[in-house]
Chain A
Amino acid sequence: MFYVLEPEVAGHFGKNSVVDTSVRPPSVTKFHYELDGWLGDDLLETISSFVVTDRLRSVIEQSASTGYEFAPVEVTTSEQFDELYPDRELPNFWWLKIIGKPGVDDLGLSSDHRLVVRDGVFAKIQQRCQLDNCEVTEFPPPSP
């Protein structure tokens, strides 16, 4: 069984990103994530590009074997973020690149560019990480 995750959207592509946004999902060569606000979830998104904390990276590495890669991401804060959280310290973040097939690999990207995760992996993530602002639905949705 698999789940579709729509994570917290804490920011957007920063100006240092190298990205083609004319396609979906956007083709990202270099990922710069600029935070506008962060409610604390370990899994973040902007337009099908995902960012995870150190904690979530280690959970994924322990529980999932296929469908993903990690790469460095530059994370900065916007003016709005600084206004909302003047003294907020940030953890280390990683770019979670999804390369798997949905419903086959542990992590995949659905046809409408949403993150698909195997139930066992999702259970581990839920146990050890914060996903308070992540919408979760079954994949594929149950037939009526």
Chain B
Amino acid sequence: MAPDDTESSFYHPDGINNIRQLTDETAAETNRYDYDAWLQIRSSTGTVTNPQTGKGLFSAYRREDDGLYGTHNRFYEADSGRWKSADPAEADLNLYRYVNNNPINNDDPSGLQSIAELETDLAEAMRAERFLRRQLAVIESRNEQVVEAVEQNRLAFQQAEIDRLKFWADLARIRREYGVPPVDEDVPDELQPHPVYGLARRIPQGEYRALLRRFRELGSRLVDLPRRATHLREQLRTGRRQQAEVSAYATSAQMNVAALQRLTAAARAAEAPPPRPARPQPAMTGRGQATVDPFTELQELFGGDIDFGSLRGTRHFSEEERQETIDALGYAELSIATAITSIPLLGDIIDGWSVLSGKDVLTEDDVKGVARLIAAILVVLPIVNSRLGKLLGRQVERLLRTILDRLLDLIENSRKTLGETADRLAAAIGPRQRLAFATGTGSVDETQSTFHFSRRHGSDPGSAQPRTAGAEGVAPRTATVGKAVSTNYRKTFFDAYPHLKGKVVVHHGVEQQVLDLYPGRFTPAEIHSLENLRGIPRSINPDVHLSKIRKEWNKFYRNNANATRQQILDEATRIDSLFGSQFDPPL
């Protein structure tokens, strides 16, 4: 029996919005569904035709013909536990994975990134904004103090000028009193070669000493105060430039937060199940309510990108629901537009890069430009990494990655001319930041107390704590081997990753010497297979990392005279989990 305008059914979802039961107006059960965690229907009973099984009352439905669950964005196949198409928002490294392979605890009725992830992005963006606001307040307060100091210095100098005039007047008076002529009659007092010293034995000793003290003190004030004025002016210039830059970054961050807030609100509205009052309310249109089909308006909003025709007729909306839907979609559109305008720094970065890109080696004069460029990129990264950034497309991410890579090359080339500065610049980008960028977790470090925008994981790539699987809640990638057709492992690696040629040092996950130390456990074809090859970026001191890896393996070899193949693979997995985040491609 299909629902129509004269009959109402009531949905009863469980804690993660799976429809478990349908009841009629007399509260009698008409349908019942039992699922596994992946939405595969184990059993169902009932008489009412209902496409709204599975996830969510609002946005998911089940197609009768093939059993796929449809959302606004893509179809989910319960049999395989995977989406049938890639995540349009590209929010997961695995674009077909359903709810991070954790359906017990997650749901995803939109087919896009979860609200939880959006909230994480929002929290990060808010932290970044707070950090920038605090930095701005510190800089503003410091600038105010400098302005005050400039004024105090100006008054002190005025006073010194007055004292100077008084001093010369007193000197002339004393000379007159004691009849001491100037050394040179034609030269004014202040230009006399020894205006005070010439009085040593001609006036009383006490008066001479007082005069000499005043002369010396006046001399230092008249020298020190202008020097201090110059220093304060320079300090104020720098402070105001910093203030302008941080203010721009803070404004950008504020817009990012606002956009994320709107998008989160929109996502909540889109994913929220209908309110569950104490007494069940009709989820479908009941008698006397206006029936409005929203799909025409949806189609207009999204153009031809999504075919809403397939959803037509599956569900009727109340006027209130319809309006909420339109509002939510409007918010989403507005958020995207805001996101695009909230990254004005992108233009600055590209301009800055166009100046630097023609250079092979940096000079000292370039350093400030590079530092500013890095600071700007690090501020933009969280935005790009956010869901909003992803909506802007991968192009922006690719562009920034390219610039960061080229900057590292440039810094590397310039090490001889820049010395320690090059190390600091390289550390400012750092492999961890690049990784964070690649995995969408980049952020401004709130704990950094300096003005400079810092990457998230500290300043020394070598000291960065390895990313452990447990900390991220993700199972470690298990080390494995394949079959190589050639023992030229570099060729195997660079054939697979041609863009990394010259940028990484290739090494073996399970070391080559395992062939000799544990004969028969592996074949050379397995050891040299692509699955067993790792790239260590040349930009992160590969020799240091390789040394650490060798040391780990050495401990294993020292304690295992007869390791099995599995023990060796387990050790490779452990070592990968320690260092794999720094590999390129990362593990």
List residues of A whose CB falls within 8 A of some B CB: 6, 8-13, 21-25, 36-39, 45-48, 80, 83-85, 112-114, 133, 135
Contacts and interface: CB of A to CB of B under 8 A. Distances in A.
A interface, over-half SS: loop
A9 B547 contact: yes
A6 B551 contact: yes
Given A13-B516, A37-B546, A24 B561 contact: yes
Contact of B554 (A47, A80, A85): A47
B507 A80 contact: yes
A113 B558 contact: yes
A22 B561 contact: yes
Interface of B: 505, 507, 511, 513, 516-517, 542-544, 546-547, 550-551, 553-555, 557-559, 561-562
Given A23-B561, A48-B558, A83-B505, A9 B543 contact: no
B542 A22 contact: no
A37 to B, nearest CB: 5
B559 A36 contact: no
B551 A47 contact: no
Nearest to B548: A133
A12 to B, nearest CB: 4
A46 B511 CA distance: 13
A38 B550 CA distance: 11
Given A6-B551, A12-B513, A46-B554, A84 B559 contact: no
Contacts of A135: 551
A39 B544 CA distance: 7
Contacts of A39: 543-544, 547
A84 B543 contact: yes
A22 B559 contact: no
Which 7 pairs across A and B sit closest by C-beta, in order of nearness? Answer: A9-B550, A9-B554, A12-B513, A37-B543, A24-B561, A47-B557, A9-B551
A24 B558 contact: yes
Given A80-B507, A84-B505, A37 B561 contact: no
B554 A36 contact: no
6 contacts: A21-B561, A24-B558, A36-B546, A84-B543, A85-B543, A113-B558
A13 B554 CA distance: 12
A135 B516 CA distance: 26
A137 B585 CA distance: 35
Given A13-B517, A37-B547, A85-B543, 13 more contacts: A6-B551, A8-B551, A12-B513, A13-B513, A24-B561, A25-B558, A36-B546, A37-B550, A80-B505, A84-B505, A84-B546, A113-B558, A133-B551
A112 B544 CA distance: 25
A18 B554 CA distance: 19
B547 A24 contact: no
A83 B555 CA distance: 25
A12 B561 CA distance: 15
Contacts of B555: 6
B390 to A, nearest CB: 37
A36 to B, nearest CB: 7
Contacts of B547: 8-10, 37, 39, 133
A24 B544 contact: no
Contacts of A80: 505, 507, 546
Nearest to B489: A79
Nearest to B513: A12
A126 B554 CA distance: 23
B108 to A, nearest CB: 45
Nearest to A48: B558
Contacts of B559: 24, 112-113
A84 B541 CA distance: 10
A84 B543 CA distance: 7
Contact of A36 (B516, B544, B550, B562): B550
A22 B557 CA distance: 10
Contacts of B551: 6, 8-9, 133, 135
B523 to A, nearest CB: 18
A9 B558 CA distance: 12
Contacts of A6: 551, 555
B542 A84 contact: yes
Contacts of B543: 37-39, 84-85
Contacts of B516: 13, 21
A8 B554 CA distance: 10
B10 to A, nearest CB: 65
Contacts of A25: 558
Contacts of A8: 547, 551
Contacts of A133: 547, 551
Contacts of B517: 13, 21, 47
Nearest to B554: A9
Contact of A112 (B553, B557, B558): B558
Contacts of B562: 22
Contacts of A83: 505
A71 to B, nearest CB: 21
Contacts of A45: 554
A22 B560 CA distance: 9
Contacts of A47: 517, 554, 557-558
Nearest to A15: B516
Contacts of A12: 511, 513, 550
Residue among B505, B517, B542, B544 with the most chain A CB within 10 A?
B517
